[in-house]
């Protein structure tokens, strides 16, 4: 049977066709990873690190090329894409530090016998990536698993297949055969990889429905660790004492970075009533700075969304949501002479709590007015997600009190909901993840821990 093939078109310029992609050979990749597992687990950490450093240099040398590839294939503005590749390179240093700490055997004193706690490699790992950070998110898990001694099969988003392939071309040659492999494909290939019993760890970054379906299918496989990094519906709460200008700019940035296609995007703004009108003006002013443009140009802040399906979802939301549109939003089929998937930011003032919201993943913000901070906290928790939340207030006391009520994995004061540096863990609570935070420290979920004690020698 002929392999499945597809071709991506640049979402910022649909006249640009990317190279044809062929779906990968899942069984062959699993055999190669399984064959390499014992050898890679035995390879000393110092050698794994040395290889990783060489791979880092190869990525650093191709930084601009990779950033251009992200901008072209996903529509992410070039400046953001450069930031993503910078994070990819920096992630290696952070993860090496984490590996040296986590993988070191710990002596346990005070027990009945001499004892240590040690970490052992799990075996082949599958890393499934989303389109919106096509390199950075998969890469974080790739690096941690490789340093932990697990061969990795990386299945990127089919929507970012070309730039992902280039990343793997640069990275994989620094490891022995079978240790780091690419499998292109969509849901079928992803699922086949994840369900194979020889695969011992999964890091899935993607949407809640796909993550949940996968978790259900894997529920009986206790040998597998399954890390799920899923979606969000993140609120920025503006308290009456906030710096309204800073809050407005942060809300606009959080809504429009990557055209709203970030798991930590600001999709809800909750404002205390006494400052709602003043905040609204500043927020709309700040959004005016987000004009759709060609993502390949350094000045562009708002690129296209990823696909015609994303434009259709945006239009559906414009048609279905009920409330007062503060910013009407609009599809722009042509920008600067280029046909693409461009849309403008939209803001709707809504009554009620928006409890039925699904993740919107386009630059569209629901604006809620809260009677007081308790009401704000209720609005924040009205969706099932728990990824990030930010409070704008000048009172540390308010931040601590209100913040303690918010069930999110990432909590900020006076920062955009998208402010997620690699120096920290990053993971969702509630429906946003299953408690295996990515980002800093992900290496904890790449190993099996063994308690060892001895006597009678």
Find where tokens 């120096």 sit: 423
- 360 is annotated as an active-site residue: no
Least distance from C-beta 352 to ligand NAD, angstroms?
Answer: 23
Nearest to 171 by CA among 139, 203, 147, 149: 139
Stretches 69-77, 115-123, 184-192, 295-303: which one binds ligand NAD (CB under 6 A)?
184-192
Contact between residue 270 and residue 370 where contact means Cβ atoms under 8 Å apart: yes
Q: Is 231 in the site for ligand NAD (CB under 6 A)?
A: yes
Among 8, 181, 205, 259, binds ligand NAD (CB under 6 A): 205
Q: Is 11 in the site for ligand NAD (CB under 6 A)?
A: no
Distance CA(9)–CA(340), nearest Å, equals 9
Q: Is 87 in the site for ligand NAD (CB under 6 A)?
A: no
Distance CA(243)–CA(101), nearest Å, equals 40
Distance CA(43)–CA(457), nearest Å, equals 28
Distance CA(356)–CA(322), nearest Å, equals 12
Alpha-carbon torsion 35, 39, 41, 43, what sign? Answer: negative
Contact between residue 249 and residue 286 where contact means Cβ atoms under 8 Å apart: yes
Q: Is 141 in the site for ligand NAD (CB under 6 A)?
A: no
Q: Is 416 in the site for ligand NAD (CB under 6 A)?
A: no
Among 170, 194, 287, 364, binds ligand NAD (CB under 6 A): 194
Q: Is 263 in the site for ligand NAD (CB under 6 A)?
A: yes
Least distance from C-beta 191 to ligand NAD, angstroms?
Answer: 4
Q: Is 137 in the site for ligand NAD (CB under 6 A)?
A: yes
Contact between residue 218 and residue 202 where contact means Cβ atoms under 8 Å apart: yes
Q: Is 230 in the site for ligand NAD (CB under 6 A)?
A: yes
**Size, binding site for ligand NAD by CB under 6 A:** 33
- 272 is annotated as an active-site residue: no
Contact between residue 80 and residue 99 where contact means Cβ atoms under 8 Å apart: no
Among 8, 95, 119, 132, binds ligand NAD (CB under 6 A): 132
Helix, strand, coil percent values for the chain (each to nearest 5): 40, 25, 35
Which positions are annotated as active-site residues?
229, 263
Residues forming the site for ligand NAD (CB under 6 A): 128-133, 137, 155, 157-158, 186-187, 190-191, 194, 205-207, 210, 213-214, 229-232, 263, 359, 361, 387, 426, 428, 433, 438
């Amino acid at each position: 049977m002929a392999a499945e093939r597809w071709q991506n078109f640049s979402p910022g310029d649909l006249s640009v066709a990317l190279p044809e992609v062929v779906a990968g050979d899942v069984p062959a990749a699993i055999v190669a990873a399984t064959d390499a597992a014992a050898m890679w687990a035995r390879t000393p950490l110092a050698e794994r690190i040395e290889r990783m450093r060489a791979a880092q240099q190869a990525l650093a040398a191709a930084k601009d090329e990779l950033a251009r590839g992200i901008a072209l294939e996903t529509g992410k503005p070039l400046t953001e894409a450069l930031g993503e590749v910078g994070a990819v390179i920096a992630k290696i240093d952070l993860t090496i530090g984490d590996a040296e700490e986590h993988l070191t055997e710990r002596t346990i004193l005070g027990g009945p016998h001499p004892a240590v706690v040690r970490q052992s490699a799990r075996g082949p790992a599958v890393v499934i990536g989303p389109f919106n950070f096509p390199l950075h998110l998969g890469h974080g898990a790739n690096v941690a698993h490789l340093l932990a001694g697990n061969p990795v099969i990386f299945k990127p988003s089919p929507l970012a297949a070309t730039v992902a392939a280039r990343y793997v071309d640069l990275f994989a040659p620094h490891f022995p055969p079978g240790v780091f492999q690419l499998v292109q494909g969509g849901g079928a290939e992803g699922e086949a990889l994840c369900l194979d019993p020889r695969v011992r760890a999964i890091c899935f970054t993607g949407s809640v429905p796909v993550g949940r379906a996968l978790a259900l299918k894997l529920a009986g496989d206790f040998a597998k660790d399954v890390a799920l990094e899923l979606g969000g519906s993140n609120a920025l709460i503006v308290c009456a004492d906030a710096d309204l200008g800073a809050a407005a700019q942060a809300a606009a940035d959080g809504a429009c970075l990557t055209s709203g296609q970030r798991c930590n995007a600001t999709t809800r703004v909750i404002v205390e009533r006494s400052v709602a009108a003043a905040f609204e003006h500043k927020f709309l002013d700040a959004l005016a700075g987000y004009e759709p443009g060609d993502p390949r140009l350094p000045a562009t802040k708002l690129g296209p969304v990823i696909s015609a399906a994303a434009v259709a979802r945006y239009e559906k939301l414009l048609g279905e949501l009920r409330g007062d549109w503060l910013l009407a939003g609009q599809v722009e089929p042509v920008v600067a002479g280029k046909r693409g998937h461009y849309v403008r930011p939209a803001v709707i003032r809504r009554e009620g709590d928006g409890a039925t919201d699904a993740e919107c993943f386009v630059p569209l913000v629901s604006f809620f007015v809260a009677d007081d901070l308790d009401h704000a906290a209720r609005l924040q928790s009205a969706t099932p997600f728990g990824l990030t939340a930010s409070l704008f207030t000048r009172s540390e006391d308010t931040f601590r009190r209100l913040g303690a009520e918010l069930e999110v994995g990432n909590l900020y004061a006076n920062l955009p909901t998208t402010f997620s540096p690699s120096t920290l863990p990053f993971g969702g609570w509630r429906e946003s993840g299953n408690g295996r935070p990515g980002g800093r420290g992900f290496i904890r979920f790449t190993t099996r821990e063994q308690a060892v004690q001895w006597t009678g020698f």
